[in-house]
Each structure stands twice: as C-alpha cells, then as structure tokens.
Amino acid sequence: MLKTFPKGGVHPAEGKYSANSVIEKLSLPKTVSIPIAQHIGAPSKAIVAKGDKVKVGDKIAESTGFVSANIHSSVSGTVVKVDKVLDSTGYKRPCVIIDVEGDEWNESIDRSIELKKEISLTDKEIIQRINESGIVGLGGATFPSHVKLSVPDGKKIDVLIINGVECEPYLTSDHRLMLEKAKEMLVGIQIIMKALSVNLALIGIENNKPDAISHLQNLVKDYPGVEVHALKVQYPQGGEKQLIKALINREVPSGALPLNVGAVVHNVGTAFAVYEAVQKNKPLFERIVTLTGKSVKKPSNFMVRIGTPVTELIEAAGGLPEDTGKVINGGPMMGKALNSLEVPVVKGTSGILIMPVVLSARKKESDCIRCAKCVSVCPQGLEPFLLNKLAQLGKNDKLETNAVMDCIECGSCSYTCPAGLPLLDYIRLGKSKVSQIIRSRKQ
Amino acid sequence: MNKLFISPSPHVYEDTTVKRLMFDVVIALLPALVFSIYFFGMGAIIVTLTAVVSCIAFEWLIQKFILKQEPSITDGSALVTGILLAFNVPSNLPIWIIIIGSLVAIGVGKMSFGGLGNNPFNPALVGRVFMLISFPVQMTSWPIPGVTRFTNWLKPISAADLDAVTGATPLGIIGNNVGKVLEKIDVATGDTLRHTVTIQDIYNGQVVINEEVVKTFDQVPEYASQLLGNIGGSIGEISAIALLIGFAYLLIRKVITWHIPVSIIGSVFLFAGVLHLINPEYYIAPEFHLLTGGLLLGAIFMATDYVTSPMSVKGIWVYGIGIGLITVSIRVFGVYPEGVSFAILIMNAFVPLINMYIKPKRFGEEVKNGQ
C-alpha cells in the first residue's frame, strides 16, 4: 500500500499533457514588469528609479522586514518606470518596468554548469544567502524561505520534507525539474538540511510520476540522509499538513505550523533555487513555468525570467487556442483566473493553464441535497455545507467554532458538490471575516 | 479574442450531478422491480407506474401552481420517491390509495418543507406510514407470489377477495403467533392443557396438544425463497438478492457508502442474535430478520436517503445502530410485525440533533486539545 493522507481528498483528471516536454529556455521579452510584492508578507521597497541601468541579478527592490523578500532584476536594461501594473491578482500593483537590452549578468553570479557538491557556507551563512537571494516557496504559496529555515528557540526540527507531489492536475514544472535538475535539487536539499541541522530529508512524490521516482531513487544513494517516497495519487497531498501526515504520520495541530511537529516542508523548486543561490550565487529571477491546456498546440515547460508577460509564453506554445474560455495562473484546483494575458510571471507562477470554453463555465447550481460528499472529501475534517450556510447567514461566531480558519482552500468541496454549489466561495468570505475579527481581538 | 471567464477556484468539477445520483438509484432499484414483476405480475407494474406518475405529477402541480417555482421534476428525485413508495406497498393495493399515498409523500413529506434537500423525513416512508395507519387492511393483505392482481382495481377489496389470494408475511406469521397461549380441555380428565406457541411450532406448521392438532400456520418460507423473493410482502422488499445487486451497484458508482446499510444490518443481526441466544424458543434466528420484512430495502435504499441521514460518519453509526435497535424492538416487542419504516422515521427525527452534536474529527483537533 502506498502512503497517503488518511482523511478526505479527491482525484481530478490529471491532464498532465506537458509531462514529456523538456524544459525550454524562453527567449527574452522586450520589456519585463517585475512586481515588488511577489511573496507573502510585507511588500519590498523599490531601490531603482527611472533611467537606472540594471544587470541580470541586480537587486531592484529590498525586503522590508523579516517576513519579506528581496527582488532582483531578471534582465539587463534600463528601468523605464516604477508604476502600477495589473498583475495576476487582478489588481494594479507597483512594478519595476525594465526595457530589455542584451543579456548582461551581474559578475558575482557563477554561470558555469558544473555541479558543485561541496557546501562551504555555514548554516548561518546559508540562511543569510537565501534571504539575500529573495527565495520564496516556489510551490505557489511564496512564503519567504529564510523564515522557514530560522527555527525559533526551543523548537527542534528532526526532519525535512521535500514536496515533489505536484498534486494539482495539468502542472508539470516540478515533475520536469525532478527529471532534469535532480542533482542540483539534491544538493539544494542537503544545503537546507545543513541550515536546519537535520539528518533526514524525505522527498514525497505521487505515483503518477514513476520516472521521477526511479530517477531520484537511483541518485539519492550518493546523498546520505535523503529518501524518496512514492505516494498514492490524491489531491491535495501537496498541502503541507497533508504531506506531513502522509510521510511521517504526524498531525500538525489546528492553527499551528509544521515546525510544531518537528518538520519543515520545502518544494522541489525551492530546493533547486537554494542550490543556485548558495552554490552559484544566483538570486531568484527565473523559474520553470508549465504552459498547458487541452487545446494548447504545444504544451510546454519553460524556464522563464520573472516579469515576462504571459502572452510571450502562450505565443511560444503555439498561440492562444481559438476555443479559449479561461486562462488560469496555477492549477485548476487552486489557481487564479486571469483577466488579462499581459500580466507578468512572478515567483509563484508554477503554470499557466488554458481552459477551453466548454470547460470554463461553472456547474449549474441546485439546492443542497445534504449528500455529505463535501464532508467526506474535506482533508481538514470540516463541514463545508455548514460553513457555506453559516457564511451566507453571516454567523461569524459559529463559523469560528466550526473551525473555518482550518480550511486550506483546496477546493475539494466545490469540486465534488453534485449540486454545483460554490461552497469554497462563501467559505473564503467567511474566513476573511473571521480572520478580521480574530485580528481585531488581538489588538 | 474572446472574453475570459473569471471565477474563483476550483476551476474543474466532478461530473456527478444530483440528476445522475438520482438516476443511479433508479438503476439500482431495477433488479428488485424485475423480481417483483416476475413474482407479482401485472400488479407490481400497475402499482409502480401509478406511484411514479402520481408522485411526479403532484410535485409538478405543487411547484407550478402553489409554490410558483420552476418545476424541478427532471432532477429525478420524485421518480425515486415514487418507486420507493410503490416498493413499500402490497402489489394489490387499490390505485386510489396509492394516489393518496403519493400526495401525502410528495405534498406533506417533501414539498411542504421546501422541496428536495429540506425535508426532515423520508418522503416515501411518510406516504407509506400514512397509508399503513389509514388503510391497515389493504396495506397488510399480501398477495401470494404467483397470483396476479385480479379484476376490478377501483373496487375496494372485500375480505373474501383477500382470503382467496393473500397470505401473511413471514414476519407476520411469527409476530401474530409466537408467544400466544393455546388452550385445550382434556376430555378424559377435564383439565385445561396450555401450550405457548414457539418458533419450532411455526416451522412445524401446526400445534399439537395431546395428539390433536389445535392450530395450523401458513408455511414459513425457506431461506432460499427469501433470498429469491418467492415470499409474501411488499413489492420491492421480497428479493434479498435483487436488493443486494442494487447495493453493489450503488457502492460501485459511489452513490452511497457502506456505512448506513452495514450499521443497520449489523446491529439488527447482533440484537436479534442476542435475543435468540437468550431464548431460541421465542426469538427467531437473526438471519431470518435480515431476509424479511423490508430490512434490506430500508437499510439500502430508504435509510441512505441523503437528505434525511446524518452528515458525519460517526453520526451515521449512531443513526444506523438506532434504526437497527428500534427495528428489532418493534418486531419483537411491538404490535406491528414490521418495524423498519417506523425505525427509519424515528431516527430521521434525530438527524438534526446528531448533526449538531456529532461532528467529524477535524484534522489536528485532538493534538491541539492535547497540548
């Protein structure tokens, strides 16, 4: 029996059309718009102004607190302006807009392709370098990585968990990375192990990627302390709490962080970025992005500079299909629908999914028949039908006692509802109300 | 370029719809329908058609003219209610009674609470129990399998008609006789001889006191007949095999989970089994309970009704065990030989309470409280 998490979960059609597409370098765009808020936490502060010349890897915006991250230029050229531009959130946000001129890299970056295995930095220096390089969680949550590595006093971490699950349908960027950048990623994992001073790292991969599992299993023999575990395909296994439960059977308490059970979770993409930052002194300014969809001519995985407009990726994959109805930043379960294709790729963009019109509309709504399917698929053991009703009625106190804040917004309830109810829409509303109340109580 | 759709995640949906779930239930009920048509002939067809047509018609009429809503009969829920209502009555029930039952099931049991999803009680059972209480004679005269429905359906059935072709259900035979004291005066001595009827007497088919037959019983069918359905009873309840085929289909299609049927059947088996162990003379073997009197129909198709069953697995165990215990209690200690319908309705009433107090175990909840 393959391991998996025990409670709830769904299995949407996988649609991994781009699983066999080798990572291609996307050609440089003419202009990039680099948002200065690409992470969870305080937005950074731009440190360049109109007319400044920048090189690839130059810092252009500075972290403004502990939970914040530096932003680096992904291109060389001239800063046109620092202005508000529509980004993938659907809002206009401050961006540094740079006209691309050539491809001149900051001299401190080691551009050699040899694998560098020896880790010369100390744990403190590693965390410092990761912080300096602007690395955030590349699985999509974009939480600044150095924060996760700075373990508070009194907490003991004994295992590092590496998330190679990629449970979102369609997306394949992590899958390709595990096949093509495996050695670099494994060194990255060892760097993180050193920073956390743990001796054990478990890589969790869903069983629908057997090539990645066997490839890594062959390689880990040379990387002591690193183990590869195949997991049963079940969404949302990539959720931190679900993955920890699946791999080491520890249950992160409600409202707490993984470090409360001695674990830290990082994505495979983050481990690769850590390798590049620590061993090659290369800040985070590019990432792998899957461009896929049922009608896409050439489903692809691109290495993309941050700030590249989504249209460039679509063109490189054969253009926008005629039957396009929806373009999603991320996977179909948790991704955000885009209202413009000019928005830039950011650190958290793991994929762009193009849905045909026929698959774009929502299911027709009818009355709840209390079938309890939402209850049985909720990986957090909540009662979505009830939270939905309470949120509609504005019963915030009851929402809180029914643990609305435990919701991880995986969308399994809305996905499975035979009555087509937008359960998660209302639960999100309720959650934001309740979190406002909780915050005001603390003040 | 086309306009882009914007909506919050998730962007994909399972292809299950309410309609598909309802039609899966209909498909799962078909084997039982086929068996009952085989055993009861035209009667089964007429009763089922009448119930289905009148349930759908009443729902449409009520939505169209009283509630002024867009009728939603295409969702298939009225169809399911109609079939289940028919499955719970004898195959010779007069048509007018079925129509009244359908009106009560749909009108009172379902639409008065706001339609699908809002009714606290299983509509088909509301209709059935209404008919059982209002028309007890017609509702408990069971045609013997193989005898088809006869002549004038609109004419109320006379007692003479009934005797000709009806027989008691297996549970009825036992419920009406076991434990009764029979007396006979001994001619030679003038003493009164007493005999309490036991299960064994029922199987023997007669009671003999002092070498004289004082009472005979209808034959209680063999288990094989009960499995196939060659026994007296309501249209849909007679064939255990057909109902189990339907159960397997529902499980494969993931329409229901095994919890409700298993908790009911398990608790009936255990409770009846304990009674049987205490006194096998008066309490029949537990497997007999499983195969008779609509237990399987109730456990698989009626108690599992989405709307009127609990939301959490823990709640489902309470609900299922409750139904099991009440069923056996009514059958063994109550006046009705049959108790599944009442047991389900009683536990339906507890469902809101169960949902309120029995919550699913939340992820990370125990760990939090333990700290």
Cβ distance of A420 and B362 shorter than 8 Å: no
d(CA B333, CA A344): 74
Shortest CA gap B115–chain A (Å): 9
Quick check: A33 contacting B, CB < 8 Å?
A: no
Sign of CA dihedral A155, A160, A166, A167: negative
Residues of B with CB under 8 A from a CB of A: 1-2, 4-14, 16-18, 20-21, 72, 75, 77, 115-118, 257, 306-307, 309-313, 359-368, 371
Residues of B within 8 A of A330 (CB-CB) are 9
Please check whether residue A326 lies inside any domain of the structure.
Answer: no
Same-domain check for residues B109 and B179? no
Cβ distance of A403 and B368 shorter than 8 Å: no
Q: Token pair for residue A364?
A: 């027709």
Nearest Cα neighbor of A202 from A165, A232, A239 is: A165
Shortest CA gap A434–chain B (Å): 18
**Parallel/antiparallel/unpaired status of strands A23-25 and A300-305:** parallel
d(CA B184, CA A318): 98
Cβ distance of B18 and A332 shorter than 8 Å: no
- A96 phi/psi in degrees, rounded to 5: -95, 120
Cβ distance of B11 and A253 shorter than 8 Å: no
Q: Exposed, middle or buried, B253 (CB in 10 Å: 0-12/13-18/19+)? A: middle
Please check whether residue A3 lies inside any domain of the structure.
Answer: no
Cβ distance of A403 and B367 shorter than 8 Å: no
Please check whether residue B237 lies inside any domain of the structure.
Answer: no
Please check whether residue A8 lies inside any domain of the structure.
Answer: no
User: What is the three-class DSSP state of B157?
Assistant: coil
Residue B223 Rama label (left phi>0; alpha psi -120 to 50; beta): alpha
**CATH at A135:** 3.40.50.11540
Same-domain check for residues B184 and B159? no
B61's enclosing H/E stretch is helix B42-61
Cβ distance of B312 and A370 shorter than 8 Å: no
Cβ distance of B11 and A335 shorter than 8 Å: yes
Give the total number of structural domains in chain B.
3
Contact A91, A114 (CB under 8 A): no
What is the side-by-side strand order in the sheet with A286-292? A23-25, A300-305, A286-292, A351-356, A324-329, A336-337
Give the total number of structural domains in chain A.
2
E strands, chain B, are 142-143, 166-167, 181-185, 192-196, 206-209, 212-216
Shortest CA gap A158–chain B (Å): 19
Residues of B within 8 A of A295 (CB-CB) are none
Same-domain check for residues B43 and B98? yes
Same-domain check for residues B153 and B138? yes
Q: Please report where in the chains the tokens 């391991």 appear, as a residue.
A: A3
A234, A258, A280 — which closes off a domain? A280
Cβ distance of A420 and B17 shorter than 8 Å: yes
Tell me what pLDDT residue B187 has. Answer: 76
Same-domain check for residues B105 and B143? yes
d(CA A296, CA A288): 18
Average pLDDT score over chain A: 93
Q: pLDDT tens for residues A82-122?
A: 999 988 888 899 999 999 999 999 999 999 989 999 999 99
Cβ distance of A372 and B72 shorter than 8 Å: no
Please check whether residue A181 lies inside any domain of the structure.
Answer: yes
pTM value is 0.89
Residue range A210-234: mean pLDDT, rounded = 95
Tell me what pLDDT residue B165 has. Answer: 54
Tell me what pLDDT residue B146 has. Answer: 55
Give residues with Cβ within 8 angstroms of B229, minimum separation 6.
B35, B36, B38, B39, B145, B238, B239, B240, B241, B242
Q: pLDDT tens for residues A33-59?
A: 999 988 888 889 999 999 999 999 999
Contact B207, B196 (CB under 8 A): no
Residues of B within 8 A of A252 (CB-CB) are 364, 367
Please check whether residue B364 lies inside any domain of the structure.
Answer: no
Question: What DSSP character marks residue A28?
Answer: P
Same-domain check for residues B177 and B191? yes
Give residues with Cβ within 8 angstroms of B78, minimum separation 6.
B55, B56, B58, B59, B106
Amino acid at A118: E
Please check whether residue A405 lies inside any domain of the structure.
Answer: yes
A280, A314, A338 — which closes off a domain? A280
Cβ distance of B360 and A414 shorter than 8 Å: no
Residue among B18, B77, B364 minimizing CB distance to A254: B364
Same-domain check for residues B159 and B31? yes
Cβ distance of A366 and B11 shorter than 8 Å: no
Cβ distance of A254 and B117 shorter than 8 Å: no
Please check whether residue B13 lies inside any domain of the structure.
Answer: no
Q: pLDDT tens for residues A132-152?
A: 999 999 987 899 999 999 988
d(CA A115, CA A156): 31
Q: pLDDT tens for residues A321-353?
A: 999 999 999 999 999 999 899 999 999 999 999
Interface size A-B, in CB pairs within 8 Å, comes to 174
Q: Which residue of A has its CA nearest to B14?
A: A416
A211, A245, A280 — which closes off a domain? A280
Quick check: A234 contacting B, CB < 8 Å?
A: no
Cβ distance of B118 and A367 shorter than 8 Å: yes
Shortest CA gap B75–chain A (Å): 10
Cβ distance of A375 and B360 shorter than 8 Å: yes
Same-domain check for residues B148 and B200? no
Interface test with A, best of B5, B111, B355 (most A CBs within 10 A): B5
Q: pLDDT tens for residues A152-162?
A: 888 899 999 99
Q: How many CB atoms lie within 10 A of CB A211?
A: 12
ipTM, interface predicted TM-score of the complex: 0.88
Question: Residue B281 belongs to what domain range?
Answer: 256-357
Please check whether residue A88 lies inside any domain of the structure.
Answer: no
Quick check: A295 contacting B, CB < 8 Å?
A: no
Residues of A within 8 A of B69 (CB-CB) are none
Same-domain check for residues B186 and B118? no
Same-domain check for residues A267 and A132? yes
d(CA B145, CA B41): 9
Q: pLDDT tens for residues A387-421?
A: 999 999 999 999 999 999 999 999 999 999 999 99
Tell me what pLDDT residue A255 has. Answer: 87
> In sequence order, which ranges of A182-322 are alpha helices (DSSP H)?
182-196, 210-219, 240-248, 268-280, 310-316
Q: Which residue of A has its CA nearest to B115?
A: A367
Tell me what pLDDT residue B253 has. Answer: 93
Radius of gyration of chain A (CA): 21
Please check whether residue A47 lies inside any domain of the structure.
Answer: no
Please check whether residue B147 lies inside any domain of the structure.
Answer: yes
How far from chain centre, in Å, is Cα A395?
Answer: 32
Does A71 have pLDDT greater than 60? yes
Same-domain check for residues B67 and B125? yes
d(CA B90, CA B167): 11
Contact A384, A408 (CB under 8 A): no
Same-domain check for residues B34 and B156? yes
Residues of B within 8 A of A363 (CB-CB) are 13, 17
Cβ distance of B9 and A336 shorter than 8 Å: yes
Cβ distance of A381 and B363 shorter than 8 Å: yes
Please check whether residue B153 lies inside any domain of the structure.
Answer: yes
Residue among B12, B21, B313 minimizing CB distance to A415: B12
Q: Which residue of A has its CA nearest to B21?
A: A418
Nearest Cα neighbor of A54 from A28, A35, A75 is: A75
Sign of CA dihedral A16, A18, A22, A27: negative
User: What is the three-class DSSP state of B138?
Assistant: helix
Q: Which residue of B has its CA nearest to A413?
A: B10
Contact A68, A44 (CB under 8 A): yes
Q: Token pair for residue A101?
A: 């001129």
User: What is the three-class DSSP state of A5?
Assistant: coil
Residue among A328, A369, A416 minimizing CB distance to B14: A416
Please check whether residue B315 lies inside any domain of the structure.
Answer: yes
Please check whether residue B6 lies inside any domain of the structure.
Answer: no
Residues in chain B with pLDDT values less than 70: 1-2, 144-168, 224, 367-371
d(CA B123, CA B113): 11
d(CA B82, CA B54): 8
Please check whether residue B139 lies inside any domain of the structure.
Answer: yes
Residues of A within 8 A of B7 (CB-CB) are 326, 337, 362
Same-domain check for residues B178 and B163? no
Q: Exposed, middle or buried, B91 (CB in 10 Å: 0-12/13-18/19+)? A: buried
Q: pLDDT tens for residues A243-297?
A: 999 999 999 998 889 999 999 999 999 999 999 999 999 999 999 999 999 999 9
B209 forms beta bridges with: B212
Q: Which residue of B has its CA nearest to A374?
A: B311
Cβ distance of B311 and A370 shorter than 8 Å: yes
d(CA A165, CA A212): 11
Question: Residue A393 belongs to what domain range?
Answer: 373-442
Quick check: A231 contacting B, CB < 8 Å?
A: no
Please check whether residue A235 lies inside any domain of the structure.
Answer: yes
Cβ distance of B12 and A360 shorter than 8 Å: no
